[in-house]
Amino acid sequence: MSDTEDYVKPDERETEQERLEREREAKEQAELPYTWKQTLQDVDVTIPVPKGTRSRDVIVDIKKNHFKVALKGQDPIVEGELCQSVKVDDSTWTIEDQKEILVHLEKVNQMQWWENVVKGAPKINTQRIQPENSKLSDLDGETRAMVEKMMFDQRQKAMEATS
């Protein structure tokens, strides 16, 4: 084997490191008793429960900074201080097909990604999140004005460069 075959370029090494980090993260997330996904506005948590579970069998407690889901008479499936604050009145839960609890948490800070649902749980790398495309009309007034100004400035620079 030659020296060139043993040499790994720094950008390839970084890619391998990122791959290993993604695998570790995926394994940690898979070991949680729930799955979750998020947008900038909300977090959705899906918790599998025994088939036939009804709402009267479940305890779901959503507070501004605390979250608990349990089956009555059993230890909590998930409980802890939330990663960030939620809007309690806009957060909901339902039982889907009597086999999973779906919890919808509305974020207070809708400009920040969560690293985890509850503090102490394995974290995800929020730098790798690919946000969905949004329309200008989805943005709050201040953010929309800032984006429109940036777009205008960018168009002005493009026109100056071509003239």
Strand order from edge to edge, sheet including 92-96: 35-38, 42-48, 100-106, 92-96
Are 90 and 140 part of one and the same domain? Answer: no
Are 155 and 141 part of one and the same domain? Answer: yes
Are 19 and 37 part of one and the same domain? Answer: no
How confident is residue 4, by pLDDT bands cut at 50, 70 and 90?
very low
Q: 130-139: per-residue pLDDT in tens?
A: 766 667 777 7
- pLDDT for res 68: 97
Q: Count CB atoms within 10 A of the CB of residue 62.
A: 20
The pLDDT of residue 1 is above 60: no
Are 91 and 54 part of one and the same domain? Answer: yes
Give the pair of three-digit tokens for residue 133: 């495309």
Pairwise CA distance, residues 128 & 143, whole Å: 22
Are 80 and 121 part of one and the same domain? Answer: yes
Residue where the block lists tokens 């501004």: 64
Q: 141-153: per-residue pLDDT in tens?
A: 888 888 888 888 8
- pLDDT for res 69: 98
Cβ neighbours of residue 71 under 8 Å, at least 6 residues apart?
Answer: 49, 50, 53, 57, 58, 59, 77
Are 93 and 152 part of one and the same domain? Answer: no
Are 75 and 118 part of one and the same domain? Answer: yes
Are 48 and 114 part of one and the same domain? Answer: yes
- pLDDT for res 2: 46
Are 111 and 144 part of one and the same domain? Answer: no
Q: Give the global pTM.
A: 0.72
Are 85 and 55 part of one and the same domain? Answer: yes
- pLDDT for res 71: 97
Are 44 and 85 part of one and the same domain? Answer: yes
The pLDDT of residue 53 is above 70: yes
Are 20 and 38 part of one and the same domain? Answer: no
Which structural domain, as residue segments, surrounds residue 23?
1-31
Gap between the terminal Cα atoms of the chain = 55
Total of domains in the chain: 3
Q: 67-117: per-residue pLDDT in tens?
A: 999 999 999 999 999 999 999 999 999 999 999 999 999 999 988 899 999
Angle, CA of 99, 40 and 46, to the nearest 5°: 10
Pairwise CA distance, residues 140 & 122, whole Å: 31
